[in-house]
Amino acid sequence: MSYKITHSYNWYKTPEDRFLIRTYLINHIPFTFDELPAIVQDDPEIIKMAEEQLTLSPEILYQKSFYLIDEEAHPLLFEMDLENPQDLPDEDYEFIPQDLTS
């Protein structure tokens, strides 16, 4: 079974701030995001797309990400059969190898 990476624009709300992000999802579950440049924060089309999506918080992303880790389905931590691995974030992530089993 292969999984597909998708993207959405969402509002990200912390107690101190609210801003737009590009969210990466696997099977409709968010697992990471990119902050958008300031110039994009005022783009009416991106704002409209974000208004149609769930507003995310650090707590929501934490819960969703750890769910994927528990299921060994987090595409940045586990080798997975992805339909479109080119759609993963461009960042060069460095992870410290560790035993995630409990």
pLDDT in tens, 15-57: 999 999 999 999 999 999 999 999 999 999 999 999 999 999 9
pLDDT at 90: 77
Burial level of 49, CB count in 10 A (0-12/13-18/19+)?
middle
**pLDDT tens digits along 2-12:** 999 999 999 99
In percent, the amount of the chain with pLDDT more than 90 equals 83
Tokens 């528990």 sit at which residue? 70
Q: Rounded to an integer, what is the distance from CA 34 to the centroid of its chain? A: 8
What does the pLDDT read at residue 1? Answer: 79
| Gyration radius of the chain over CA positions | 14
The string of pLDDT tens digits covering residues 54-91 is 999 999 999 999 999 999 999 999 999 999 999 998 76
Whether the CB-CB separation of 36 and 21 falls below 8 Å is answered with yes
Entry pTM: 0.83
